[in-house]
């Protein structure tokens, strides 16, 4: 389907060459081939491999978010006034009298739109232009529509073709114990496999493969048509723009302009998707972490990566939100996997999309990048509200390519990870002839390991929200092995992914939930009757029914409980005691033998002080024992002083 370009208008915008320091840094993610040695425990960082792609040297797209919606139907005509309002009489004065024209290109959301610049600008110029546009009272922000690349580099097959990462941690310290999780059962007696859960893979699309096809849902292609004159190469590479065909046509490149490296097709999207959901129990090839789940391919990466604006739109669509000119997704994903990124701080466009996706109830899992950084991770992994995944090797050590730093949430296996691929070097070779398997390394493959486990947990408890799901993954993580680089380092996240421990933690939700309260408010009078009330509800996932309850006193002066084995118990506060606090525990046990408890505490008023039967007139009482000790001490000091003060020997 050919992209329909909206009506174009032009505005003169003047740019200057003297305003600097406004550009955000950008660099493509690293390749990991030949750079897989474990990071030394004493290493503070590594130099980058010489083959790293260079930043793009020119830019022709800007993202602008207006403070109010520009159109109810995302029409270009209703955005015209907003675009015109960005200009001022005589033009916007920036860097050295360079006149450029802006065209409306596409919409990201109701308030966010992409503008095309009719000529290439360097980083300084385009960032200065964005800065100037952002000063307009109607604009919330303006930023460069950056290129984003997959976090990926393939390795030769000898790096490993077995699925060590799925196996027991007793065999491989860095393994995820996924095979053990598969032997657990949900409350409905179904094996844990991710069944019923949709995971979106925002990547290069999907290439047909016999070991993956049955688990692929109809997806969408969000790569906008960018043939000349809009770009020095065509990112889409399929002859059209956005459409309902998420097939990967290949992302090979022979054009070295704009610092883009030549390469064969990577089939990155299919490789990532198969880690999540390759078919299981079919006696063929590999098995995905969540082999019972469905994978929703969302194509956002093409030749030399993809654009921030396309990725943000794809995220919204994947979560079931509306996107201009695109039908609503009928299979909203509860987990979004993004094995991609670029350097720099989190762009506002990404953060807006993440906020919207989280609000819709979907978890965003992002790889941290492959530059070997020890103090930073790439964006969008460094955005708020995402689950950022770094990589570890079979022995639990941190490979030298894996980025770690503030914002890293957890680590997943990322060395020699098997995935489905295709034998075509340019376009795909038809299945099954072209079907192949390749082992690769990078945080690109760590992220789908986590996304797959998230799908397992959502099958067990479909009602989990984003925060609870994240908490289960983090709380169940295993510590990094002693002596490895990440041991004891918060920059590496909570620890190593453990599918079985996470599943066990969610299955424990079958335990009953309890609460406890007291009838009297603090402080409680002495000699008062207090009623304790407990509530118990069977667990949401296979919790059975409540079989027994019990009240137990945990602290404070001993009292007699009436009705200790019922929901309601009572006691009388003691008339005298030095302690004013009393604590009780209410415990409920379900028919599945799981139990939980809650505590309640009360504070009593202080007991009245006893009145002394001795003491002089004038209201004086008996001396306190501390006072008596003090008087005795004074008497001893007085007697010692009467004997003389010793002097130093001469």
Active-site position among 103, 145, 203, 243: 203
Active-site position among 444, 446, 503, 595: 444
Helix, strand, coil percent values for the chain (each to nearest 5): 20, 25, 55
CA-wise closest residue to 550 among 539, 540, 564? 564
3-state secondary structure labels for all residues of 366-394: EECCCCCCCCCCCECCCCCCCEEEEEECC
Q: Clarify whether 444 is annotated catalytic.
A: yes
Q: Clarify whether 593 is annotated catalytic.
A: no
Active-site position among 113, 116, 209, 268: 268
Sheet holding 546-555, edge to edge: 546-555, 581-590, 595-603
Interhelix angle for 466-475 vs 443-460, to 10°? 110
**DSSP tag of 23:** P
H or E element in which residue 44 lies = none
Strand partners, 340: 150
Q: What are the DSSP calls for 239-272, one per residue?
A: SSSSBS--B-----B---GGGPPPB----HHHHH
Placement of tokens 């950022």 in the chain: 388
Angle (CA) 247 253 257, round 5°: 130
Q: Check if the beta carbon of residue 338 is closer than 8 Å to that of residue 366.
A: yes
Give, rounded to a whole angstrom, the gap between the first and last alpha carbons of the chain.
Answer: 110
H or E element in which residue 78 lies = helix 76-84
Q: Check if the beta carbon of residue 266 is closer than 8 Å to that of residue 251.
A: yes
d(CA 408, CA 402): 11
What are 83's two structure tokens? Answer: 């675009």
CA-wise closest residue to 551 among 568, 526, 576, 539? 568
H or E element in which residue 558 lies = none
At 178, is the secondary structure helix, strand, or coil?
helix
Q: Clarify whether 203 is annotated catalytic.
A: yes
Catalytic (active-site) positions:
203, 268, 444
């Amino acid at each position: 389907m050919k992209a329909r370009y909206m009506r174009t208008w032009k505005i003169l915008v003047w740019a200057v060459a003297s305003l600097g320091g406004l550009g955000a840094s950008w660099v493509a993610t690293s390749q990991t081939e030949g750079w897989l040695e474990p990071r030394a425990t004493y290493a503070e960082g590594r130099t980058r491999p010489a083959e790293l792609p260079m930043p793009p040297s020119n830019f022709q797209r800007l993202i602008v978010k207006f403070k109010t919606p520009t159109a109810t139907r995302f029409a270009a005509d209703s955005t015209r006034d907003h675009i015109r309002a960005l200009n001022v009489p005589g033009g916007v004065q920036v860097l050295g009298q360079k006149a450029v024209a802006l065209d409306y290109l596409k919409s990201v959301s109701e308030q966010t739109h992409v503008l095309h610049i009719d000529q290439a600008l360097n980083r300084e110029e385009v960032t200065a232009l964005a800065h100037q546009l952002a000063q307009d009272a109607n604009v919330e922000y303006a930023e460069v529509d950056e290129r984003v690349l997959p976090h990926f580099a393939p390795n030769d097959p000898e790096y490993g073709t077995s699925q060590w990462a799925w196996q027991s941690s007793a065999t491989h310290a860095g393994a995820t114990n996924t095979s053990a999780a598969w032997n657990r059962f949900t409350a409905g007696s179904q094996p844990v496999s991710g069944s019923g859960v949709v995971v979106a893979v925002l990547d290069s699309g999907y290439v047909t493969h016999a070991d993956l096809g049955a688990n692929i849902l109809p997806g969408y292609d969000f790569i906008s048509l960018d043939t000349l004159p809009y770009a020095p190469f065509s990112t889409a590479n399929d002859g059209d723009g956005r459409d309902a065909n998420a097939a990967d046509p290949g992302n090979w490149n022979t054009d070295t302009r704009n610092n883009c490296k030549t390469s064969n097709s990577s089939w990155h999207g299919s490789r990532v998707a198969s880690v999540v959901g390759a078919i299981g129990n079919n006696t063929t090839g590999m098995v995905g972490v969540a082999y019972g789940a469905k994978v929703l391919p969302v194509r956002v990466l093409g030749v030399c990566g993809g654009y921030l604006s396309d990725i943000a739109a794809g995220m919204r669509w994947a979560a079931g939100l509306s996107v201009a000119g695109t039908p609503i997704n009928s299979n909203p994903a509860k987990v979004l996997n993004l094995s991609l990124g670029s350097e720099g701080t989190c762009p506002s466009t990404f953060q807006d999309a993440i906020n919207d996706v989280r609000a819709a109830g979907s978890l965003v899992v992002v790889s941290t990048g492959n530059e070997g950084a020890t103090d930073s991770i790439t964006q969008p992994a460094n955005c708020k509200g995402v689950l950022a995944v770094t990589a570890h090797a079979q022995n639990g050590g941190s490979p030298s390519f894996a980025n770690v730093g503030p914002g890293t949430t957890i680590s997943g296996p990322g060395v020699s990870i098997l995935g489905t691929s295709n034998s075509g070097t340019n376009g795909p070779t038809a299945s099954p002839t072209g079907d192949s398997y390749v082992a690769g390394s990078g945080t690109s493959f760590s992220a789908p390991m986590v996304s797959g486990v998230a799908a397992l947990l959502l099958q067990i408890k479909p009602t989990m929200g984003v925060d609870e799901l994240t908490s289960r993954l983090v709380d169940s993580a295993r510590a990094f092995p002693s002596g490895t680089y990440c041991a004891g380092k918060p920059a590496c996240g909570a620890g190593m992914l453990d599918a079985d421990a996470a599943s066990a933690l969610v299955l424990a939700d079958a335990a009953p939930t309890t609460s406890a309260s007291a009838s009297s408010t603090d402080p409680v009078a002495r000699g008062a009757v207090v009623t304790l009330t407990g509530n118990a509800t069977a667990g949401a996932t296979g919790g059975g029914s409540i079989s027994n309850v019990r009240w137990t006193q945990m602290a404070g002066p001993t009292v007699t409980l009436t009705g200790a084995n019922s929901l309601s118990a009572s006691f009388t506060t003691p008339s005298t005691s030095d302690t004013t606090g009393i604590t009780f525990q209410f415990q409920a046990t379900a028919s599945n033998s799981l139990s939980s408890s809650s505590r309640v505490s009360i504070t009593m008023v202080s007991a009245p002080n006893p009145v002394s039967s001795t003491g002089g007139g004038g209201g004086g009482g008996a001396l306190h024992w501390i006072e008596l000790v003090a008087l005795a001490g004074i008497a001893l000091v007085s007697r010692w002083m009467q004997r003389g003060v010793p002097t130093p020997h001469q």
